[in-house]
Structure 1
Amino acid sequence: MKTAIIVLALLTVSVQGKWPHLRTTWAPVPGLGGFNPEPRTQVELNAEGWVKLSSCSDGDPNFPGDRYARSRADNDIVLVFDGNGFIAGIQTIVPMDKAMNDEYHQYSTDKFYQIGDFFGAKAYFATTYFVDPSIICNGGRTQSEFEDQGTGNLVAMQTGPTIADLHYPPLVEEDAMTSDMWYEHKCFFNMGVHYFTFDYNPDQPCTEVVPYQLVYIDGKLNGIVFQHIAKLDSPRFESVNALAINGIVDTPPTCLLDLTETPGVSTMHVYVGDYIIVC
């Protein structure tokens, strides 16, 4: 039997209920770093001084919504808002000069990454939506829907150049258990029960690995983790070493352990629910 979990993603309201939070970055001790609350409304964005990257009115063919970065210098996350000013998704960024393309991993051919512009600099974006992307610039959510759902009511990972290309991960752990894509791994405190596309084969090529983890608690998806083959400098990313990988991955592929040394592996937990988890 499983217990605990947490990180970022989403669950339909009918399955899980309201998602009350949007927090990023795991830390060893809550209250002493990490678990950073991120804005979920336009009012919060304005109060914190976030900078608009693009908007619905731009008609961006790749990424819909009003998209905001913490600042022009903070090239780590972009928050996606609908036209009514409610949270709709999150992106993490791998700057082009940090994205290694070699026999271990190919950013240029990985369908979970899209090339985009970050204030004039090209970068790879990994994007997860918390609502149906088709509504983001076509009505958005109402105040009552936001109050009822919280951060969102689903998880959709972009797998191509437009929102016609999406992967919907299992919203309940029971479905993840029978998935031919996601595999159960280990539980870790203040994280939860992890699912990866690692298939327990030490010779599995890292080119086959999806840059996400799923995390479940009490059988329900409560978050996701972005994982990038890159050494990313932002303190909002978590630098991963072999000890950490062995703590959460059952029989990790050898290439992943090698990549923690060169060029590095960076992750970011994104939580939509409670983050105090005991395994």
Structure 2
Amino acid sequence: MLKTIGFFLGLLFFTHCAFSERIVNTDGVRNALKVRFKIFKDVPRSEAEAIEMNFTKISDCETEHFRGKQYMRYGDPLIIPLFDVNGYIAGLQTGVPVGLDNNYPPAIMQPPFIQDGDLFKLTAYFVDPLLICKRGRSKQQFIRTGTGQDLFIQTGKDPETDILEIDEHMTETKWVQGLCFPQMGYHYFKEVSLDMSCETFFPVALLYYHGELQGFVWSLGAILNSTFVSYEYPEPEFFLELLKEVPTCLNTLRRSTMHVYFKDNIDTFTCKAPPAKESPCTSDSAFPVLEKILIVWFSIFMLIKMTY
């Protein structure tokens, strides 16, 4: 009898630990979509939220060069959220007006910039573009995966084939590692070098922290304005805080940037060594549950003994 009780207690302890691990691992869900360093303004993650925030639909889900229903707020091209066929967030665009004085973006950057009317658009997808307009995500999938599980940068006119898939884990990316900055994370840049031409400076940087992809940055070679939220205007010397070797051309080039975050844990991006992660499966965490079970089993055991 005691052996049987011991067996069941051991089984319950194992179950408690496994369940605890499962709960803890849910913190990887992208539970937000925020923009602008120090302001962290929310971007709508559903069509219903977009309408409440005075965004207006400007396209159907499937167009010649893009996937996802595009929404804009008062014609401001800084933030153009993309929603799937079911109305859940599927990606994000930003637009640069055609005909800027400095002729940005240069021809060599077209694509990833793709002209759409009077805008050059950059597009990032958070789910596979093949699925966005065909079946989208269900409510349950949105709850489970939040702002999507992927990041694809569109690099050509075909949104289903001309895409650059971004690695989820920092150790797997081939992009050039930069430096860590609090509330930004580690910046990663695509093919940067000291003597590069800024015409080839890729307009997207990646943000990693806690070893995982946390967001990205639009980095645009022009001074732009927005009514949704103000752009970031880094001084040239600020790149010394982001890159180990700053391309010479950035010393005189002014840019408009925008940080995009997938989670609301931005305050944990301290650039300090993170504490060792403790397993929730410990005797201390399991003891209150096991204590109650043991009392019940002991009561049953005594009752059986008294009966016989």
1:70 deviates by 1.4
SS of the counterpart of 1:222?
Answer: strand
Write the distance in 1 (CA, Å) between the matches of 2:153 and 2:57: 22
Task: Report Cα offsets for 1:229-270 as digits up to 9, x if no partner.
Answer: 11111243211211221111221111122212xxxx111000
Residue 256 of structure 2, aligned match among 256, 266, 269: 266
Q: Corresponding residue for 2:85?
A: 83
1:16 deviates by 7.8
SS of the counterpart of 1:186?
Answer: strand
Structure 1 267/109 Cα, relative in aligned 2: closer, same or farther at 3 Å?
closer
Q: Name which of structure 1's ranges 61-70 and 152-161 shifts more when overlaid on structure 2.
A: 61-70
> Which residues in structure 2 correspond to 1:5-44 (within 5 Å)?
17-27=28-38, 34-44=39-49
Using the aligned pairs only, state the percent identity.
32
AA in 2 matched with 1:238: E
1:107 deviates by 4.2
Write the distance in 2 (CA, Å) between the matches of 1:19 and 1:214: 15
Q: Corresponding residue for 1:131?
A: 127
TM-score normalised by L of structure 1: 0.82
Q: Is the 8 A contact 1:16 1:220 kept in 2?
A: no
Q: Aligned pair count? A: 242
AA in 2 matched with 1:268: M
Write the distance in 1 (CA, Å) between the matches of 2:108 and 2:179: 30
Q: Is the 8 A contact 1:81 1:89 kept in 2?
A: yes
SS of the counterpart of 2:205?
Answer: strand
AA in 2 matched with 1:18: V
1:66 aligns with 2:65: no
Q: Name which of structure 1's ranges 90-99 and 215-224 shifts more when overlaid on structure 2.
A: 90-99
1:75 deviates by 2.4
Write the distance in 1 (CA, Å) between the matches of 2:219 and 2:47: 28
SS of the counterpart of 2:241?
Answer: helix
Write the distance in 2 (CA, Å) between the matches of 1:157 and 1:108: 16
Residue 55 of structure 1, aligned match among 60, 67, 87: 60
RMSD: 1.9
AA in 1 matched with 2:203: P
1:221 aligns with 2:240: no
1:238 aligns with 2:232: yes
Residue 146 of structure 1, aligned match among 142, 163, 185: 142
- Bigger relative CO (Cα 8 Å, ≥ 6 apart): 1
Q: Is the 8 A contact 1:107 1:113 kept in 2?
A: no
Q: Is the 8 A contact 1:23 1:272 kept in 2?
A: yes
**Which has the larger strand fraction?**
1
Task: Report Cα offsets for 1:86-118 as digits up to 9, x if no partner.
Answer: 00000011111337348xx6246432110013x
AA in 2 matched with 1:267: T
Q: Is the 8 A contact 2:236 2:253 kept in 1?
A: no
Query: After TM superposition, where is structure 1 displaced by more than 4 Å over at least 4 residues in a row?
Result: none
1:133 deviates by 0.7
1:15 deviates by 11
Write the distance in 1 (CA, Å) between the matches of 2:150 and 2:214: 11
Write the distance in 2 (CA, Å) between the matches of 1:219 and 1:99: 40
TM-score normalised by L of structure 2: 0.74
SS of the counterpart of 1:175?
Answer: coil
Write the distance in 1 (CA, Å) between the matches of 2:218 and 2:155: 14
Write the distance in 1 (CA, Å) between the matches of 2:188 and 2:233: 19
Task: Report Cα offsets for 1:17-43 as digits up to 9, x if no partner.
Answer: 31000001112xxxxxx1001110122
> Which residues in structure 2 correspond to 1:141-180 (within 5 Å)?
141-163=137-159, 164-176=161-173, 179=174
AA in 1 matched with 2:96: V
Write the distance in 2 (CA, Å) between the matches of 1:251 and 1:203: 10
SS of the counterpart of 2:252?
Answer: helix
1:275 deviates by 1.4
**Which has the larger helix fraction?**
2
1:254 aligns with 2:248: yes
Structure 1 231/153 Cα, relative in aligned 2: closer, same or farther at 3 Å?
same
